[in-house]
Every structure is written in structure tokens, then in C-alpha cells.
Amino acid sequence: MNICGFYPESINEGPGLRAVLFISGCRHGCKGCFSKQTWSFEAGEPFHEAKQAELLNDIAANPLLRGITLCGGDPFFSAEELIPFVQTIRQRLPYLDIWSYTGFTFEALIRNKHDSKFQLLQLCDVIIDGKYNEQLRDLTLLYRGSSNQRIINVPLSLETETLQLINHFDL
Ligand code: SF4
């Protein structure tokens, strides 16, 4: 697994101040994708254990962070390799909320409960799901590029077995 970027602080990929990690690789091929350079799984640099520890230390040292957001690419294509890192965040930095962008829909991610994509989903507080749709592009949307994409409360949706969208934010 490679990463093609890391922002130690950002206010654009979810509420509050967040660390943002870009996981290389995406096969969705959305027309009009604004980050085609991240489609290759070889883009960027290897996310080996030493690099993971370095980023975790950076994140842990910043008391202003509210959460971490996983971007890409699509992190869910690398779910199996990414899960141990996200589990470590959960254990070591439980006060951070974890958001992830994905081109998969929530319905697709819950289809197979034995798939690593579902396991990664379970580690997330919020996902922004769905492929970018150029025809539905809307610059007024918070955190999303097109209106088909949804901001989903993952734990509540799994618990209630009903999709729970988030429409308001405590910024
Ligand atoms: S899911 Fe995201 S990175 Fe992948 S093609 Fe679509 S817009 Fe681009």
C-alpha cells in the first residue's frame, strides 16, 4: 500500500481540524475525477510500518485535531492493508473521529460481511460514499463534489440497519 499525500492539518475534509491521509489507488474511473494522479496503486510512497509510526506520532502530538480523514484514491480498495493502521488509531487515539471518502456506496460495502471493505467500514465513524458524478456536480455541497454522494453516520446506520445521513454539522 502506498500513500500519495498527508496533510497534518486541514479544514476541508470534514468538521474541525483534521489530519488527512491520501491512500493511493482507485479503480472507479469517475468521469471528471479531479485527482487522476492518485489512481495508480504505485503512486506516492510506500506506507510501511516506520512511516505509519511517524504519522501516528505527528497526529498524536497535535492536541487541536478533531479527527482523521482517509482520502484517495479510494481507501477501500486497500482495506485489507489499511485496517491495522486504522485499528491502531482507534486504540491509541480514541478521541479522534475517523472519516473516509469512498467511491463505493454504503450498500455495496455492507453486502459481504466477511469482506475487508466491511471491516474497514466498521472502523469508520463517517463515510462520504459514491462515485463522483460530473452531471451532479454542486460546488455548494459541504465536503462533497456531487449531489449523489452522501455523508453517512456509519455506527448508527449499522446499528439501526437503516441509512442515517448527516446533514448538519457542529463546526
Ligand atoms: S472515487 Fe474519487 S479518486 Fe476514484 S475516480 Fe472517483 S473521484 Fe476519482
* pLDDT tens sequence across 74-87: 999 999 999 999 99
Residue 171 maps to a domain: no
CA 51 to centroid of ligand 1, rounded, Å: 24
Q: Does 28 contact ligand 1 (Cβ within 6 A)? A: yes
How many domains, the chain?
1
Cβ partners under 8 Å of residue 140, min gap 6: none
Amino acid at 13: E
Residue nearest to atom 6 of ligand 1 (CA): 30
Q: Does 128 contact ligand 1 (Cβ within 6 A)? A: no
- 142 contacts 169 by C-beta, under 8 angstroms: yes
- 54 contacts 94 by C-beta, under 8 angstroms: no
Residue 80 maps to a domain: yes
CA 164 to centroid of ligand 1, rounded, Å: 23
CA 133 to centroid of ligand 1, rounded, Å: 10
Residue 23 maps to a domain: yes
| CA-36 nearest atom, ligand 1 | 8
Residue 169 maps to a domain: no
Residue nearest to atom 1 of ligand 1 (CA): 103
Cell matching residue 168: 448538519
Q: Does 25 contact ligand 1 (Cβ within 6 A)? A: no
CATH number of the structural domain spanning residue 117: 3.20.20.70
Q: Does 26 contact ligand 1 (Cβ within 6 A)? A: yes
State how beta strands 97-101 and 126-129 pair. Answer: parallel
**CA atoms of 97 and 101, how far apart (whole Å):** 14
pTM across the whole model: 0.96
Residue ranges of the chain with pLDDT lower than 50? none
> 491512500: which residue's cell?
23
CA 95 to centroid of ligand 1, rounded, Å: 29
Residue 167 maps to a domain: no
Give the model's pLDDT for residue 84.
97
Give the model's pLDDT for residue 145.
95
What angle separates helix 79-92 from helix 49-60, to the nearest 10 degrees? 40
> 473516509: which residue's cell?
100
Give the model's pLDDT for residue 171.
58
Q: Sheet harboring 45-46: ordered strands across?
A: 45-46, 2-10, 18-23, 67-71, 97-101, 126-129, 150-153
Per residue in 115-148, pLDDT (tens digit) is: 999 999 999 999 999 999 999 999 999 999 999 9
Residue 166 maps to a domain: no
Cell matching residue 121: 467500514
Q: Which domain holds residue 34?
A: 2-160
Q: Does 136 contact ligand 1 (Cβ within 6 A)? A: no
Amino acid at 129: D
Give the model's pLDDT for residue 169.
74
Residue 170 maps to a domain: no
